[in-house]
A and B are shown apart, each in its own frame.
Chain A
């Protein structure tokens, strides 16, 4: 059955591709909607059926559904056997991901119907959009359900491709095409590390006599490679030797950095906002960018055995969270703020995963998928209402004009800043609890707390600038501000419901006991426990946890209050503060000039090298000059100086050559 979960969106994408690519006539929009949304909703229904089957199986490591389709790559025998199956597995971890992705994906497909409806830039654009979106769903589901690391890489690359296609969806604008290419290239860097990790892991496993690629097989054979070492760089046999587990974990994490936008590879995600807003919500907030977190959790047994790599994960995550949050407070593009917020929240997930809280990371992944998708879709509704205006400085006062959007956006803001009772509150608290275990002392806890305060500040700032105060839009726009249609509002309300209540699926024990008197409240954690590596969790008294929660709420509340004071009560103050700290403000406004630094240090030298050396010397000089033209010149010289005399024009000399040839052949055969 699992194969149909994956195949449905692929079939829909194939239908669209045939219609616009081969038949070259766009289908009726109603048909496009029926096929696309139908396939994704069908996937969600199948996921629910699969959930029903999965919970029938008693808890434990054998609680997994498997669907082996065929052998994709197979070579060699016994200990030199390499094989990659097209096989799908559904264990509690992939179940959670599958439900989140197919559910949020369905809602965003429905929303896209409304969002793309008034887009008439291109005849086939509507169908092309849904084609890419379906292809993305297929790739994402392959990534989630793959039962081996090679197939997972296929999905990993597939989502990257679809991300590229959708960021540059309106490719007529060069900037969009550039942003798509940037996302793709930056992701390639991470993908390369991922590939190296796969090769190294497989080579080590094969050397230990267990050449396997499946996740469960790797876990089974893992004891055999735990002690293995490898010299880095490998071509230096006398170089320092490192534990393979650590190196592989770091390689995989660098891959995750690319896909999940962590330092140093986060730069593509803010630019990915060039794509249509539903794409930002689906791919660049809720699903694809969480693939890195999912991969780390999928390989949790590996990371649990690699303390140094885990420390790198935790610190990278924590620092990314803080770094991105500081950038977000100065941005004025509504989608850019949300993009940096996504980077920051993903950093929080890695912070938890690096400390061993894989369940907490997945919990936050789920709640974040709901509230961030809600915020992005709400932002999309605002953008449509404002006639494609994205700058919050020209918004304001929308509270009374688009009431429904205002309410769902407010719920999303409350969820992300961790307002008590909302989903973000529970998941962020769990992450902060795990952060106390971080290697290197309590620093990461304080960083996480600071990030929570900054998150509250920039989200409330965004909310105030958009919805409160006076409307700063030009009069021509102001008269036409309108609420979006029901196709877009319905998914918003559904998402708002989950943004508020999804936290109760993984209610931490302290709240379960205090609020509802339940003995076993963390149902998500218990559901996931058998597939995640067991790491000793934070040993906190309930009173401590309460104090930590109170501190988090206090910090968030302070941030929110400050934002409200600055942007609603005294709207003249931010400009004064900005001019008082002009240097710091410009630093944040220009995102620490990271793009410029990368441009100067990496992009320009690379382009110069490609142009001056690779193109002019290697390609034009060596390949074209020596190999291609040199061969032709050599043949010409040989023919002009010798071979041409064989063509004498005398028929009988040809006859002589023929006879000599035939005689030689016969002589050879009769030898």
Chain B
């Protein structure tokens, strides 16, 4: 059996890659992909912990998995909205670069 520390380590690694992507990449589509990566890192942690606790507390056997389903649903909605914004932005400004959208400032 895979020990929990491996699962959490992988999850943390994926999450850090996602954070780094969001913080550094200028391309809006890549930023969205990085966000997706972070969400799935969290999903991985959920299923890992669910597997670990399911035998201990049978009444909460599926809690982690239910959370994963909810996160997937939210992620799908978020991607739909996010891509919609990207398309709209490309039509208006001919660019998907984050630095080109900084009107809302002092």
Q: Which A residues fall within an 8 A CB radius of B?
A: 644-645, 647-652, 655-656, 659
Interface set, chain B 75-102, CB cutoff 8 A to A: 98-99, 101-102
- Which residues of A are found within 8 Å of B106, using beta-carbon distances? 644-645, 647
Interface set, chain B 20-71, CB cutoff 8 A to A: 22-24, 26
- Which residues of A are found within 8 Å of B19, using beta-carbon distances? 659
Q: Which of B23, B26, B98, B102 contacts A659 (CB 8 A)?
A: B23
Shortest Cβ gap from B23 to chain A (Å):
5
Shortest Cβ gap from A213 to chain B (Å):
58
- Which residues of B are found within 8 Å of A648, using beta-carbon distances? 102, 105
Q: Decide yes or no whether B2 CB sits under 8 A from chain A.
A: no
A652 touches B105 (CB 8 A): no
B98 touches A650 (CB 8 A): yes
- Which residues of A are found within 8 Å of B101, using beta-carbon distances? 649, 651
Assembly CA distance A387 to B79 (angstroms) = 88
Q: Which chain B residue has the least Cβ–Cβ distance from A662? A: B19
Q: A649 and B98 in contact (CB under 8 A), knowing A655-B22, A656-B23, A659-B19?
A: no
Assembly CA distance A455 to B55 (angstroms) = 102
Instruction: List 28 A–B pairs whose Cβ atoms lie within 8 Å, in order of A's numbering.
Output: A644-B106, A645-B106, A647-B105, A647-B106, A648-B102, A648-B105, A649-B101, A649-B102, A649-B103, A649-B104, A649-B105, A650-B98, A650-B99, A650-B102, A650-B105, A651-B98, A651-B101, A651-B102, A652-B22, A652-B23, A652-B24, A652-B26, A652-B98, A655-B22, A655-B23, A656-B23, A659-B19, A659-B23
Number of chain B residues close to chain A: CB under 8 A? 13
Shortest Cβ gap from A653 to chain B (Å):
9
Q: Which chain B residue has the least Cβ–Cβ distance from A639? A: B106
Shortest Cβ gap from A130 to chain B (Å):
65
- Which residues of A are found within 8 Å of B104, using beta-carbon distances? 649
Shortest Cβ gap from A330 to chain B (Å):
79
Assembly CA distance A648 to B98 (angstroms) = 13
Assembly CA distance A39 to B69 (angstroms) = 70
Q: Which chain B residue has the least Cβ–Cβ distance from A650? A: B102
- Which residues of B are found within 8 Å of A651, using beta-carbon distances? 98, 101-102
Given contacts A651-B102, A652-B26, list 11 more A-B pairs with CB under 8 A.
A644-B106, A645-B106, A647-B105, A647-B106, A649-B105, A650-B98, A650-B102, A651-B101, A655-B22, A656-B23, A659-B19
Q: Which chain A residue has the least Cβ–Cβ distance from B103? A: A649
Q: Which chain A residue has the least Cβ–Cβ distance from B19? A: A659
Shortest Cβ gap from B24 to chain A (Å):
8
